[in-house]
Amino acid sequence: MRSHYKYIVVGGGSAGAVAAARLAKKDTAAVLLLEGGYSHKHPLLDMPAGIFKMINGSKYMHYYHTTPQAHLGGRVHDIPQGNVLGGGSSVNAQVYMRGRASDYNEWQQILGDDAQWGWEHVLPYFKEMEANNRLLNEYHGASGPVLVSDPQHIDDSSRAFVQSVQAQGIPFNDDFNGAQQKGVGFYQFTNRNGRRSSTAYAFLGEDQTPNNLEIQLQCRVHKVIIEDGVAVGVIYENESGEVLEARLDNALAGEVILAAGALITPKLLMLSGVGGAEQLEQHGIHCIVDLPGVGENLIDHPEVPIIATAKKGFGYFKQGEGWRMWRNGLQFALFGSGPVTSAGVEAGAFVNPISDTEEATIQAFCVPMVYLDRDVLNLVNHDYGMTITTVVVKPVSRGYVRLASSNANDKPLVCPNLLKEDADLSAMIAGQRFFIKSFQTLPLANSIKSIVMPEINSLSDESLAEHCRKTVKTNYHPAGTCKMGAAEDPMSVLNNRLQVKGIKGLRVCDMSAVPNINAGNTNAVAMMLGQRCADFILAGDI
Ligand SMILES: Cc1cc2nc3c(=O)[nH]c(=O)nc-3n(C[C@H](O)[C@H](O)[C@H](O)COP(=O)(O)OP(=O)(O)OC[C@H]3O[C@@H](n4cnc5c(N)ncnc54)[C@H](O)[C@@H]3O)c2cc1C
């Protein structure tokens, strides 16, 4: 291992792996990627269905606990995040989604016309990264490193869901990332032939990693070293517990790039002396730049389940246990097909339950089994069934990430405030009402025994609100905690080139950077941020 580098990337997740790979490929200088988690090479991570074996307990995840959420009656819920090379892209459900044009046009509006974050500026990045197995058109590419595929296995129950939602008047959509987001249909996934296409595989595979890229696993960064207002290196702890320094080469105009995810990147900034002065002082940290926006503006997509039990044999119940697990494993080993190739969710929808003309307010995921967060797992008996989860795609509630202490090994305080604002709660209630009806509509209704959650004898606003408060969980998309913003916005942390305000040689390129969350899943967005960050650096864009 060298001691000096031109670029040090902190966190090899969806964004960091892409940024590090791009920098190393396009520049001959030394790049160091410090990843806190483990290697991504494990069969459960590779196979799409593995997520359901891991989601409630695995070393490949870090489980952050929220602070008690007063508006949810004091509930504490989990936020799992990847603890592995590839980050979220190595543990996620692989749904491939970018959001819609208006998401990025909104960023452009916030950041100004020169910022070049509008849809026309980001679309080429999405296309360049994508190897779609069906689509090649103005929205899709077919020769990038990220394998994007139609689901290889579709359970009959998912097909029934898609038909029932059509029967409710929602048109079939064969491309949620195309001209129109609204509709019901089958998602595309970042996998191919039963194998996940994480950023670890797509960008850091053995055959592509250039010699000038050094990847160190299980190396957890504690802070950025800042001297005279310039980032010059990082302090990190290796696998054996040794605390070490990695430094930038003085002779090169290098940079430190933070990509530890929206919950950890703000923590690292604060531990380095970049954050709200008052908070830093409380923890005895010398404030180098007073940026009160660090850790604020936490946005996540709230998700609430509707659960129905169904007739025997329906969906994926027990498919990962006993003889069924062996049968499915054998089918995969012999023929490369079957339920193992499914991420456990195949179908979904984007709807606006109260307006035919306006954009979707709700994304739904059809999960052909009972699926609940850890803290509410025992509210329902596990049986044959289906969960339709509804997600508010443009939430207005905002939370925060703050330091619990000045100890780098302590997890931060995370307060997501899911559904705190009335607008989010009413959107969610409308979404719940719409998709409860899907269970009562043919052909899905043919297989359903009963809706067990929420209590359908009373679908008043108040009882649905109560159900939402009891069960709302993260859709695993924390974002926005070091947002890009206009120069005059005192709560912005980054300029529109992803540079930390007031510090030279320091950028953030993960989901922390977004001014607002996109409508839909976030992995593709994080990859795009990593790619653009590398390009800004390589272009000397300062
Ligand atoms: C369970 C789950 C399911 C999801 N499902 C989907 C889906 O189906 N589709 C979709 O598009 N999105 C999905 N997402 C969301 C998506 O994967 C994330 O939004 C995306 O991966 C975030 O990228 P990031 O680069 O911001 O952070 P991450 O990918 O989380 O990367 C952060 C990296 O930093 C590392 N790290 C953390 N702290 C340190 C430190 N101190 N030092 C060094 N390294 C550190 C972490 O180990 C991690 O590798 C899911 C996420 C999860 C967790």
The domain that contains 529 carries what CATH number?
A: 3.50.50.60
Q: To test ligand 1's pocket by mutation, which of 10, 14, 58, 481 has the most ligand atoms within 8 angstroms of CB?
A: 14
> Is the bond preceding 443 in cis, omega lying within 30 degrees of 0?
yes
Q: DSSP 3-state assignment of 55?
A: coil
Q: To test ligand 1's pocket by mutation, which of 90, 216, 220, 521 has the most ligand atoms within 8 angstroms of CB?
A: 521
Residue-range definition of the domain harbouring residue 271: 1-147+198-299+400-415+478-542
| Residue 153: active-site member | no
- Residue 25 maps to a domain: yes
Say what the pLDDT of residue 210 is: 84
CA–CA dist 90, 524 (Å, integer): 13
pLDDT in tens, the chain (542 residues): 777 999 999 999 999 999 999 999 999 999 999 999 999 999 889 988 887 777 778 899 999 999 999 999 999 999 999 999 999 999 999 999 999 999 999 999 999 988 999 999 999 999 999 999 999 999 999 999 999 999 999 999 999 999 999 999 999 999 999 999 999 999 999 999 999 999 999 999 877 788 999 999 999 999 999 999 999 999 999 999 999 999 999 878 899 999 999 999 999 999 999 999 999 999 999 999 999 999 999 999 999 999 999 999 898 888 888 888 888 888 888 888 888 888 889 999 999 999 999 999 999 999 999 888 777 888 888 889 999 999 999 999 999 999 999 999 999 999 999 999 999 999 999 999 999 999 999 999 999 999 999 998 889 999 999 999 999 999 999 999 999 999 999 999 999 999 999 999 999 999 999 999 999 999 999 999 999 999 999 998 66
Looking at the structure, tell me whether residues 306 and 434 fall in a common domain.
yes
- Residue 191 maps to a domain: no
Q: Confirm if 530 and 16 have CB atoms less than 8 A apart.
A: yes
Looking at the structure, tell me whether residues 42 and 107 fall in a common domain.
yes
Give residue 85 CA to ligand 1 midpoint distance, Å.
Answer: 9
Instruction: Compute the half-sphere exposure of residue 457: CA atoms within 13 Å on the CB side of its CA.
Output: 0
pTM, two decimals, is 0.97
Looking at the structure, tell me whether residues 370 and 428 fall in a common domain.
yes
The alpha carbon dihedral of 447, 185, 371, 332 has a sign of positive
Looking at the structure, tell me whether residues 315 and 456 fall in a common domain.
yes
- Residue 193 maps to a domain: no
Say what the pLDDT of residue 102 is: 98
Number of domains the chain is built from:
2
CA–CA dist 187, 96 (Å, integer): 7
- Residue 192 maps to a domain: no
Give residue 14 CA to ligand 1 midpoint distance, Å.
Answer: 6
Looking at the structure, tell me whether residues 340 and 262 fall in a common domain.
no
Q: Is 148 in the pocket of ligand 1 (CB under 6 A)?
A: no
Q: Is 90 in the pocket of ligand 1 (CB under 6 A)?
A: no
Q: DSSP 3-state assignment of 518?
A: coil
Say what the pLDDT of residue 542 is: 64
Looking at the structure, tell me whether residues 271 and 316 fall in a common domain.
no
Give residue 387 CA to ligand 1 midpoint distance, Å.
Answer: 24
CA–CA dist 115, 107 (Å, integer): 9
Length of the chain in residues, anyone? 542
- Residue 409 maps to a domain: yes
Q: Is 265 in the pocket of ligand 1 (CB under 6 A)?
A: no
